[in-house]
């Protein structure tokens, strides 16, 4: 079983590695005494994220996420990094592949299936729905500093 590796951490940052995209399948997520999800790893806690959770998951050809699910307060972004499949939300099914991004609100009944011939790997980012306002725009929240870069 692969583990998250800490690269470096400081007062205002943390950097970790889950391995290469093709190594995500080596992670295991224990969900209970008799239930392990192969190829899934949550990393929000490892990096000390305070406004979101994120996970990587790899599905082998023919595998699906195993169940439909919703959330109480979290919206999710699914970013397909590799492979192809089908995504299901509220009974609607559509194709997804490398570069596809799917946003699902908390009440959306969702699942993902690998319909391709190779592993499908995705990144999922969860965050509290309706938390961002116009004031949270990256164009107004970001501050460009007048400091020299040090490489």
Q: What is the mean pLDDT of each run of 10 residues along the chain (151 residues)?
A: 95 97 95 90 96 96 95 98 98 98 98 98 96 82 91 94
Widest pairwise Cα distance in the chain: 54
Cα gap 102→123, rounded to integer Å: 11
pLDDT tens digit sequence for 30-41: 888 888 999 999
User: If one looks up domain 5-130 in CATH, what number appears?
Assistant: 2.60.120.10
pTM of the model: 0.91
| Domain ranges for the chain | 5-130
Residues 6+ apart with CB under 8 A from 91: 109
């Amino acid at each position: 079983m692969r583990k998250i590796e800490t690269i470096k951490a400081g007062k205002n940052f943390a950097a970790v590695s889950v391995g290469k995209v093709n190594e995500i399948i080596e992670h295991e997520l224990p969900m209970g005494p008799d239930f392990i999800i192969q190829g899934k790893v949550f990393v929000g806690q490892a990096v000390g994220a305070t406004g979101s959770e994120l996970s990587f998951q790899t599905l082998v050809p023919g595998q699906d996420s195993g169940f439909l699910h919703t959330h109480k307060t979290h919206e999710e972004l699914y970013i397909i990094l590799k492979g192809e499949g089908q995504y299901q939300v509220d009974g609607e099914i559509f194709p997804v592949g490398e570069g596809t991004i799917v946003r699902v609100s908390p009440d959306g009944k969702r699942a993902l299936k690998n319909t391709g011939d190779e592993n499908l790997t995705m990144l999922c980012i969860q965050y509290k729905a309706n938390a961002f306002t116009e004031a949270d725009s990256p164009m107004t929240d970001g501050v460009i500093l007048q400091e020299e870069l040090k490489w």
